[in-house]
Amino acid sequence: HFGSNGDIMNDLNDLVAIETTWKNRVTPLVTITNLTSEGFSSDLAHQVLNNPQARNNLVNNIFYLVSRKGYGGVNIDFERVKAEDRDIFTGFLRQLGERLKPAGYVLTIAVPAKTSEDIPWLKGYDYGGIGAVVNYMFIMAYDWHHAGSEPGPVAPITEVQRTIEFAIKSVPRRKLIIGVPLYGYNWSIPYRSGTVASAISNQNAIKTAMRYQSPIQYSKEYKSPFFQYRDQAGQMHEVWFEDVRSMSEKMVLVRKFGLQAIGAWQLTLGFTPGPWLLKKFFTIRTV
């Protein structure tokens, strides 16, 4: 996390994790985010990006953190960037990249999924400009339906493909990593506006279906599994998640469009068939 003056607030005991990652021939990256106790803050990002002193301070602090702790690079995860900060955000990334690259560090970024430039709340992300200055772009291709929305597929294949087709127009394919969810959502139905669904891991979704002996259905349109069940209190639920079939479809897209890789949020949720699927569809490279 960072403050309004560009200082980084880092109290993580991460040295063992960093050392273990390197020993397994995987490059550890430190994530820098505008997440606050109230959520991702557009105002915090705006304040730092538009203050040259704070922006320079943040760049220097990121470089110092990476080099001091032994990371291999950084992942920038600024969410809800304002439309008015579009160019200054790309400029910040360029400045950071120019600082990191000579020392051999990697600059990556997590960005929301875009299917066009006409989406008002995503205008702060210039795919072309960002893609020109980062090593890799992780597209968070999920949450088309989310905790605050009506029930539906979290990562429908139709929207994932549209996102890829839009991204490759301005970003080199070998820089693109498509993010997939290791989770779904459990909605109470009928859906009522203002209610919040609970997140559920893919593995727990399957266990829930088994527990309530509910048959898992599969949307041929969205390439996504779902099911309904009634709990002990009589409340009906609808669950959308990911399984081997839906994950395979997304891996097929990564191969079809010649992208760099597939990624996931988030690993601690687990996905038992994940390693098998990766080996089936990809050649795994460790560096």
Neighbouring CB atoms inside 10 A of 28's CB total: 18
**What phi and psi values does residue 188 have, to the nearest 5 degrees?**
-85, 135
Beta bridge partners of 109: 76, 137
Catalytic residue among 19, 79, 98, 159: 79
Q: How far apart are CA 287 and CA 126, in angstroms?
A: 29
238 is catalytic: no
Q: How far apart are CA 257 and CA 266, in angstroms?
A: 24
Q: How far apart are CA 95 and CA 284, in angstroms?
A: 31
**What phi and psi values does residue 99 have, to the nearest 5 degrees?**
-80, -40
- Where b means 16+ CB within 10 Å and e means fewer, 135-144 reads bbbbbbbbbb
Residues 6+ apart with CB under 8 A from 191: 150, 151
Point out the residues that are catalytic.
79
